[in-house]
Structure 1
Amino acid sequence: MAPWTASSLTGPQDRMDVGQLQRLWSHLHRGDAEPWPEAPELQNAWLAFHNGDFQRATETGLGLGDAGMNVANKATSIYANYLEPREQHRHDLLLAAAARAEDFQRRQPENPGAWFWQAYPLARHIQSISVAKALTQGLGSRVKTALEAAIERCPQHADAHLALGTFHAEVINKVGAVVGRMTYGANKAEGLAMYRQALALNPDAITTLTEYANGLIMLEGLEALSEANRLLDRVATIEPLDEAERLYAASARAVLEG
């Protein structure tokens, strides 16, 4: 595997050890409901992820087989979405993670991460291709089905609720309420309900607050601006704890400042 682009957001003073990771685990994984890994090798893979060593996290996770599949796919997806500068390689990484997750579903169909880490990279892939292409490939329906499957298997999966809310919001924003409902099953009320559930499950997450704020604007327009700004004001008070949170916070700031 060729070297991946490194991130500079996590400095030496920010890097955590296994003990710190265990203390912060419930906060860091409130979104994906991933259980604490008992195996030292898996702990090391997750530690690499949280310290921003995404390539090492992916390679270590894949080396552990099914036990490391969720960390490998999460590391690949976060890296591709935020750090990979080459557009085609970015798509290749996202589609590879989604394909691994889909294959993982056949072996562990009750694992919510197997479904979520199919949906997340596919959704990120869709964001940078045309609506027509996404329709032709049936990608929107695959994302929605996978997210619903993740929630069915783990109702506490806040990130799946959040992503499903964003699915409804983005579809309606791109193609309109009527076409979105008929083609993708997108629905404003369901989208808002997903966002509210994500906020209830993971209320102090940068991702939850930012995605909810953006979704409100897409679904309700300017009349939601006050509530959206209130959510974004809360984001400014939250200190990121790992590389993924730092990347998301930096991305959110760039959008707001742009």
Structure 2
Amino acid sequence: MAKWTAFPYDSDDYRYDAAALKKHWARLHAGDAEPCPAEAAVLQAWTLFHAGEFKAAADAGLKAGGAGITVANKAQAIYANYLEKSEKAKLDLLLEVAQRAEAQAAAEPKNANAHYLMAYALGRYSQGISVAKALAQGLGGKVKGALETAIKLAPKHADAHIALGAFHAEVIDKVGKLLGKTQGADAATGLKMFQTALKLNPTSAIAMVEYANGLVMLEGEKKLKEATKLYEQAAACTPMDAMERLDVEMAKAELED
């Protein structure tokens, strides 16, 4: 596997030992509703993830197996989405996560994050190859179904609500409301998903960013002011780990554009 790009920010504030990680677990995992693992090896993989050591976290998670697969998949998906410079490598990494998560979901059908991470990876992959092309390949239904399953299994899964909101917004934005209907996309449902995500995880920068994007996609320029306000709120968030830092930096970059 090619060398992964290092996390580009100071990660000292995001280094937790096992005890500190357990203490802050609920806040750090307000987005993905992942239960705190009992296995020391899996907990260690998560400490690497939160510190932005995504390659090490993915390796440690795969080695630990079981619940460690979730850490590996999340680390690889987040790395691919935010830090991988090569578009081809990014798509390959996302596809690998989608396949691994799909196998995990088949083995553990009640594992909400197996379904969620398959959908997240396929959703980002779809954005990479173009949403229209992805819909033609039948990926839309797969993403939507997996996210709905994740929410059914974990109703407080804020990140699954965000991703489902993004699905509705992206599909309608790319193919229009009429064709979007054939894919099960609905503007009102999309907006409701974003609002629910923010209720579940009010300090989530990525929820604010994706809601802002969704508003503009679904409602157009009249929502630019509201979207900018959401971006400003996201940029002002205090990140608790490396992933949140990447979200905050993305919001700042968007405001500068």
TM-score calculated relative to the size of structure 2: 0.95
Q: Is the 8 A contact 1:10 1:242 kept in 2?
A: no
1:53 aligns with 2:53: yes
Distance 1:252 1:76 in 2: 21
Distance 2:192 2:77 in 1: 26
Structure 1 gap segments, 5+ residues each? none
Q: Is the 8 A contact 2:231 2:255 kept in 1?
A: no
The match for 2:155 is 155
Could you tell me how far 1:150 is from its partner in structure 2? 0.4
Distance 2:250 2:224 in 1: 20
The match for 2:40 is 40
Report SS of the residue matched to 2:206: helix
The match for 2:74 is 74
For residues 1-258 of structure 1, the aligned pairs below 5 Å read 1-12=1-12, 14-182=14-182, 184-258=183-257
Q: What is the aligned residue count?
A: 257
2:93 maps to a residue whose letter is L
Could you tell me how far 1:136 is from its partner in structure 2? 2.9
1:177 maps to a residue whose letter is K
- What stretches of structure 1 move > 6 A for 4+ residues in a row? none
Could you tell me how far 1:207 is from its partner in structure 2? 0.8
Distance 1:242 1:124 in 2: 21
TM-score calculated relative to the size of structure 1: 0.95
Distance 1:222 1:132 in 2: 23
Across the aligned residues of Structure 1 and Structure 2, the Cα RMSD in angstroms comes to 1.4
Could you tell me how far 1:223 is from its partner in structure 2? 2.4
Distance 1:193 1:13 in 2: 34
Could you tell me how far 1:138 is from its partner in structure 2? 0.9
1:234 maps to a residue whose letter is Q
Report SS of the residue matched to 2:249: helix
Distance 2:46 2:131 in 1: 35
Distance 2:217 2:5 in 1: 32
Q: Is the 8 A contact 1:10 1:51 kept in 2?
A: no
Distance 1:226 1:133, change over 3 A: closer
Distance 1:96 1:209, change over 3 A: same
Structure 2 gap segments, 5+ residues each? none
Could you tell me how far 1:94 is from its partner in structure 2? 0.2
Report SS of the residue matched to 1:151: helix
1:99 maps to a residue whose letter is Q
Distance 1:153 1:12 in 2: 35
